[in-house]
Amino acid sequence: MFRFKRTATFAFNKSMRANASYNKLALSSSSSYVFNAQQRPLSSSPEKPIPKYWNRESYAFKKKRYDYLIRVSPESIQKEARILSLSEPGDDADAALQDLPYGATLLAEGTSMDDFSHLLPLESNSHSPNVLFVSPSCLRSRELLPIVLKTFPSIEWIHCRSAGIDFVYSNEFASLTVPVTNAKGQFSSSLAEYTMMACSYFAKDLPRLLRQKDQKVWGKYDVEELRGKTMGIVGYGDIGQSCAKLANIYGMKIIALRRNPKISENDPLCDIVYGTGQDSLNRLMSESDYVVCSAPSTNETKGMVDSVAIGSMRSNGVLINLGRGHVLDELALVDALKENRIRGAALDVFIEEPLPAEHELWNQDNVLISPHNMDQTCTFMHEATEFFVFENLPRFMCGKTLLNPVDKILGY
């Protein structure tokens, strides 16, 4: 567990936060670090390593640099890209595949092996596909992926057009020797906005406002501030960090849980970072007013937020799930909501989608339900494809490091 100490008040403005550098003061016997925002000189900050993960905001002024390099200097290309696309033909979100960089070719796209049969037999590696683009629009991706790789052993790289890879994950996936990347970082900002809306939904009692409007009642009541409240984030990846950025601006305290807490030891947004484990999870749940579940769906995380974890929540606690439905024990949550052991829940993801009409969650007044669409802007999937076409694909062709590598064993 890493613990951070803020010396500044909640009025610490955004520009000051951006320039503050945290200094390690002490390592306690409980292995928790304490940092002070005022003590380390700015000039002594070490040079930051080149990030290996994409984020739409942080790369706003850097995107397409390798695509630009190819356009102005074609000799920068170290290898051509010959692409197979496991996707629904005509998917508008994949329109960028028709605007590939010089030296890249879309050989075929489809949702069955018949769509790729015209490429067989393979004449030589120089004409064989070496890149596989996989879209959630191909509903048989999990089944087809190992077949495609066996049929086309020339494939050197797989890219998934979503952040979650559960739609392709299988027993064979973990043993793949081919590198895999995903669209991590494309959907985080919208989900962070949803998170703060969900917090405000309960803090300002929006259901009461809607009832009063419907009944034409002018009834004043006390509301809560988010300032000073604690947000616990289960799964402190790109989505969790985006949530922390906005919550920090609201003046909330941030507790995070992640597999390797040392990664976040200099994170200016976090007050405490716990490692994974049931005890750490229960502790985070008990210390948080708002719990955000942004963990991916893996064999390790399925059912992680169980009855014990939910039972550790404060009576005024709110559970927000925007990662994957399988991370949460829905039956345990329903029991806690029905018995008013927690304040409420905001759910954008579910074990079964669409959520069945007979599911008890529909009948709970203290639940905000959205149909797994809180990252669904009109351009979100287009942008995910554009990241592949204009960022990672040129990197592959220029022999540069690919962004968003997936740990095939962990599943994210």
Query: What is the per-residue pLDDT across 158-208, written as a single tens digit (0 to 9) for each?
Result: 999 999 898 999 888 989 999 999 999 888 999 999 999 999 999 999 999
- In the chain, what are the helix, strand and coil shares in percent, each to the nearest 5? 35, 15, 50
Q: Residue 22 pLDDT > 90, yes or no?
A: no
Is 301 in the same domain as 315?
A: yes
What is the spatial distance between Cα 379 and Cα 250, in angstroms, rounded to a whole number? 27
Check if the beta carbon of residue 282 is closer than 8 Å to that of residue 309.
yes
CATH of the domain at 140: 3.40.50.720
What is the spatial distance between Cα 158 and Cα 171, in angstroms, rounded to a whole number? 16
The H-or-E segment that residue 3 falls in is strand 2-3
What was the pLDDT predicted at 68?
86
Distances (CA, A) of 38 to 10, 19, 35, 119, 228: 15, 10, 9, 62, 21
Is 223 in the same domain as 361?
A: yes
Q: 54-58, 81-85, 255-259: which range is least confident on average?
A: 54-58
Digit-coded pLDDT (tens) for 229-284: 999 999 999 999 999 999 999 999 999 999 999 999 899 999 999 999 999 999 99
Is 196 in the same domain as 115?
A: no
Digit-coded pLDDT (tens) for 213-222: 999 999 999 9
One-letter amino acid of 72: V
Beta bridge partners of 405: 181
Is 364 in the same domain as 383?
A: no
What is the spatial distance between Cα 151 and Cα 171, in angstroms, rounded to a whole number? 18
Tell whether 126 is covered by a domain: yes
Residue closest to 409 by CA, chosen among 172, 239, 142: 172
Look at the chain and report how many structural domains it folds into: 2
Is 224 in the same domain as 280?
A: yes
Tell whether 123 is covered by a domain: yes
Looking at the annotation, which residues are catalytic? Answer: 324, 353, 372
pTM: 0.82
Distances (CA, A) of 70 to 63, 96, 137, 183: 13, 16, 29, 22
- Identify the domain containing residue 344 by its residue range: 188-369
